[in-house]
A and B are shown apart, each in its own frame.
Chain A
Amino acid sequence: MRTYFWKYFSFLLLFVSAHKVYADGISSVRFNEIMVNNQNNYQDEFGDRSAWVEVFNSSYSTINLGGCYITNDPNSPTKYRIPKGLPNTIVPPRSYALFVFSGVSDRGVFQVGFKLDSVGYLALYDQSGKILIDSFSYAYPDMPADVSFGIYENDKNRQWQQMNEASPKMVNYNKIEKTRAEKFYENDRHGFVITLTIMSVVFLALLCLAVIFTFTGRFFKKQTTKTPQPKQKSNKQQKTVDVVQQPQHTTADDSDIAAIALTLHLYFDNQHEVEQTGFYLKPQHSQSAWASKVLNFRQLPK
């Protein structure tokens, strides 16, 4: 008795979960946008422009449309069968597939073998041809060219309405929604608010930096007064680099500092001539840094 219970229970569980998977899968597909009078809009791979319908996989799982049916006749649910076993019938999560109603049936998966009228009905049936996945009726007798109808991505009521811009295989984005800059402009037509806000933040950011470096500066100033000056190395190259740090220059006046700055500037611009007197900044190695083993090899700690 107990074994039977678990058997039936497992079967029931399997059935429910299978149904759940099915519900999350093919039933999440819905018609999303339609254009019946296509003059200059979507061009198929054969260069033709026909009426088209966009289908949206609203789920977060991949679904396969292979074997499903599209029809414009309620009495004939299996009017056009989407070919099965082809990789391009797989629609990734939150993605789109576009069916073109060219009336030619031998042009591939997405070329439906009948044409759309300006007034009609469209339905999508599952692989059995019996379970209706989605359907809608439409009537656009005086539809201007290249205008599409659809459901906006952010429309909770899922209302079919005229789109601002046709968007085959793309999100139906409501462009009437204002951009951030437009919204900002509405509240600040003269730019005073943005000026005050941004200038305050710029000042705040740089003030924070200034405060922090004032304190760190004081800290390091104290540190340098505490620590004794290290002995100067005899190496010529070292001497050239440390020339600004030598004690006699720390109390130099403005003209000395300017002279050193100018010399360094000329040196780094490779304009400084070799001088026989005064201080000489040219490094001793003539090779480039790329070719120098001494500069390239990492020195191991002793």
Chain B
Amino acid sequence: MEAISENLQQFLSFTGFANATPGHLIMILVGLIFLYFGIAKKWEPMLLVPIGFGILIGNIPFTPGLQLGIYEDGSVLSYLYLGVLKGFYPPLIFLGIGAMTDFSALISNPRMMLIGAAAQFGIFGAYMAALHLGFNAAEAGAIGIIGGADGPTAIFLSSKLAPDLMGAIAVSAYSYMALVPVIQPPIMKLLTTKKERLIRMKPPRQVSQTEKIIFPILGLLLTTFIVPAGLPLLGMLFFGNLLKECGVTKRLANTAANPLIDIVTILLGLTVGASTQATTFLTTKSVLIFVLGAGSFIVATATGVIFVKIFNLFLKEGNKINPLIGNAGVSAVPDAARVSQEVGSHYDKTNFLLMHAMAPNVSGVIGSAVAAGLLLGFLA
């Protein structure tokens, strides 16, 4: 009888109830909020559902030493997490993104690429602020990339520059990407006049198949010759796009754009979520990262819109760009472009900005990958 009671006591000491701390409960609550936003509100469900569930997995209390946790050597989760730690999930995601992205809007109107470059100012706004808040240069670079609004790029860079902060950076980046429809519209409205919001843009020209094939090849050669450090991301992005556009590798393109990216997204989301264990995640630094992330998104959106307004000063009447597509320079594809469309249609229901906004949106993907490569080259 005594033995049974002893065994039961031992068993109870191993349960989550015995090992739970307030930190665990807070993080479980955060995970539930993520799941609520993902499922009920349908905000980036593909990301928020795996991350939210990952947060639950990562914050189930247990006795250390049983090879269960994501930070314990030999645990299954630690092996799945290797893709994040070593940075090989993000390039695979980029392969899928490349295979899904149609660059036609950008090819037909190449000047839109500059909007994608301007929106990268958000990265450096956060970088400078992070330096002032006491983060070292490498950490500040990793935090700044949240402003690129590109989850895989943020994970890739933080795994190289500040692995300790990667959980907070990834969760922050994906949270704000999900909140793009909430964050961006007020800034866009604040920085534009009614007249500017009603600007109608010329329909994009039709792009030939040959141009679509040439784009990833030239894009790769040019960007990676300038920034070789961006090769893992840019190489995969353009390769995926070539698979899609060349027309002779449909099966490969389908695999990259569907099963492969789905598998990697599941693993990435789940392990990033699980990496937010209360013991490592609930720190002042994480709170600061969330504040800086919000700031970088605001700066990125604002600089995109302001850049279009400045650009318009040099353009003839009839060629002007609607500044409501400036927000799409952040690379949250395609949410930022959808926001342009929604805000634009609020003022003129017959003004369709979606296709125009896709150009700076995909350019932002290239821009943030180039910026990440440069930060890596300077700070790694």
Could you list which residues of chain A lie within 8 angstroms of chain B, going by C-beta atoms? Answer: 179-182, 184-185, 189-192, 194-195, 197-199, 201-214, 216-217, 220-221, 223-224, 244-245, 250, 252-255, 257-258, 261, 289-290, 295-296
Contact A217 B117 (CB under 8 A): no
CB A118 to nearest CB in B, in angstroms, measures 35
Q: Interface size on B (CB < 8 Å)?
A: 58
Known: A194-B124, A213-B107. A206 touches B136 (CB 8 A): no
Q: Does B210 contact A (CB under 8 A)?
A: yes
Contact A191 B116 (CB under 8 A): no
Contact B366 A191 (CB under 8 A): no
Query: What are the residues of chain B within 8 A of A220 when measuring CB–CB?
Result: 207-208, 210-211
With both beta carbons as reference points, the residue of chain A lying nearest to B208 in the complex is identified as: A220
- Identify which of residues 6-33 in chain B touch chain A, using a CB-to-CB cut-off of 8 Å: none
Q: Closest 9 interchain pairs by CB?
A: A195-B124, A191-B128, A181-B137, A185-B137, A213-B110, A210-B110, A181-B138, A258-B352, A206-B113
User: What are 23 pairs between A and B in contact, CB < 8 Å?
Assistant: A181-B138, A181-B141, A185-B137, A191-B127, A195-B128, A198-B374, A199-B121, A199-B124, A202-B374, A205-B227, A206-B366, A209-B218, A210-B110, A210-B114, A213-B107, A213-B218, A214-B110, A217-B205, A250-B206, A258-B354, A289-B250, A289-B251, A295-B251
Contact A224 B208 (CB under 8 A): yes
Residue from B214, B222, B250, B367 in contact with A202 in the complex, judged by beta carbons closer than 8 Å? B367
Q: Does B347 contact A (CB under 8 A)?
A: no
Residue from A198, A204, A221, A261 in contact with B205 in the complex, judged by beta carbons closer than 8 Å? A221
**CA of A204 to CA of B366, assembled, Å:** 12
CB A70 to nearest CB in B, in angstroms, measures 35
- Identify which of residues 329-347 in chain B touch chain A, using a CB-to-CB cut-off of 8 Å: none
Query: What are the residues of chain A within 8 A of B371 when measuring CB–CB?
Result: 198, 202
15 more contacts with CB within 8 A, not counting A184-B137, A195-B127, are: A180-B378, A181-B378, A198-B123, A198-B378, A202-B367, A209-B366, A210-B111, A210-B114, A213-B106, A216-B214, A217-B110, A217-B211, A220-B208, A244-B206, A289-B254
With both beta carbons as reference points, the residue of chain B lying nearest to A227 in the complex is identified as: B208
- Identify which of residues 345-365 in chain B touch chain A, using a CB-to-CB cut-off of 8 Å: 350-352, 354-355, 363
Query: What are the residues of chain A within 8 A of B76 when measuring CB–CB?
Result: none
Residue from A179, A209, A212, A217 in contact with B138 in the complex, judged by beta carbons closer than 8 Å? A179
Could you list which residues of chain B lie within 8 angstroms of chain A, going by C-beta atoms? Answer: 106-108, 110-111, 113-114, 116-118, 120-121, 123-124, 127-128, 131-132, 136-138, 140-141, 161, 200, 203, 205-208, 210-211, 214-215, 218-219, 222-223, 226-227, 250-251, 254, 350-352, 354-355, 363, 366-367, 370-371, 374-375, 378-380
Contact B211 A206 (CB under 8 A): no
CB B175 to nearest CB in A, in angstroms, measures 24
Interface of A, helix, strand, loop or mixed by DSSP = helix
Contact B222 A205 (CB under 8 A): yes
With both beta carbons as reference points, the residue of chain A lying nearest to B248 in the complex is identified as: A298
**CA of A208 to CA of B131, assembled, Å:** 31
Query: What are the residues of chain B within 8 A of A209 when measuring CB–CB?
Result: 110, 113, 218-219, 222-223, 366
Query: What are the residues of chain B within 8 A of A258 when measuring CB–CB?
Result: 352, 354-355
Query: What are the residues of chain A within 8 A of B227 when measuring CB–CB?
Result: 201, 205
Query: What are the residues of chain B within 8 A of A289 when measuring CB–CB?
Result: 250-251, 254
Residue from A202, A211, A224, A257 in contact with B117 in the complex, judged by beta carbons closer than 8 Å? A202
Task: Indicate the member of A202, A209, A213, A221 with the most B CB atoms within 10 Å.
Answer: A202
Query: What are the residues of chain A within 8 A of B205 when measuring CB–CB?
Result: 217, 221
Residue from A182, A195, A203, A261 in contact with B355 in the complex, judged by beta carbons closer than 8 Å? A261
Query: What are the residues of chain B within 8 A of A252 when measuring CB–CB?
Result: 203
With both beta carbons as reference points, the residue of chain A lying nearest to B138 in the complex is identified as: A181
CB A204 to nearest CB in B, in angstroms, measures 7
Query: What are the residues of chain A within 8 A of B254 when measuring CB–CB?
Result: 289
**CA of A255 to CA of B363, assembled, Å:** 24
**CA of A212 to CA of B111, assembled, Å:** 11
Task: Indicate the member of A199, A250, A296 with the most B CB atoms within 10 Å.
Answer: A199
**CA of A221 to CA of B379, assembled, Å:** 43
CB A44 to nearest CB in B, in angstroms, measures 21
Query: What are the residues of chain A within 8 A of B363 when measuring CB–CB?
Result: 206
CB B264 to nearest CB in A, in angstroms, measures 20
Contact A191 B251 (CB under 8 A): no
**CA of A202 to CA of B300, assembled, Å:** 14
Query: What are the residues of chain B within 8 A of A254 when measuring CB–CB?
Result: 200, 203, 350-352
Residue from A181, A208, A212, A245 in contact with B136 in the complex, judged by beta carbons closer than 8 Å? A181
Contact B131 A190 (CB under 8 A): yes
**CA of A278 to CA of B42, assembled, Å:** 30
Contact A257 B352 (CB under 8 A): yes
CB B91 to nearest CB in A, in angstroms, measures 19
Query: What are the residues of chain A within 8 A of B118 when measuring CB–CB?
Result: 203
CB A134 to nearest CB in B, in angstroms, measures 37
Residue from A191, A198, A202, A250 in contact with B140 in the complex, judged by beta carbons closer than 8 Å? A191
Contact B131 A255 (CB under 8 A): no
Query: What are the residues of chain B within 8 A of A201 when measuring CB–CB?
Result: 226-227, 370, 374
Query: What are the residues of chain A within 8 A of B208 when measuring CB–CB?
Result: 220, 223-224
Known: A201-B374, A220-B211. A185 touches B136 (CB 8 A): yes
CB A62 to nearest CB in B, in angstroms, measures 31
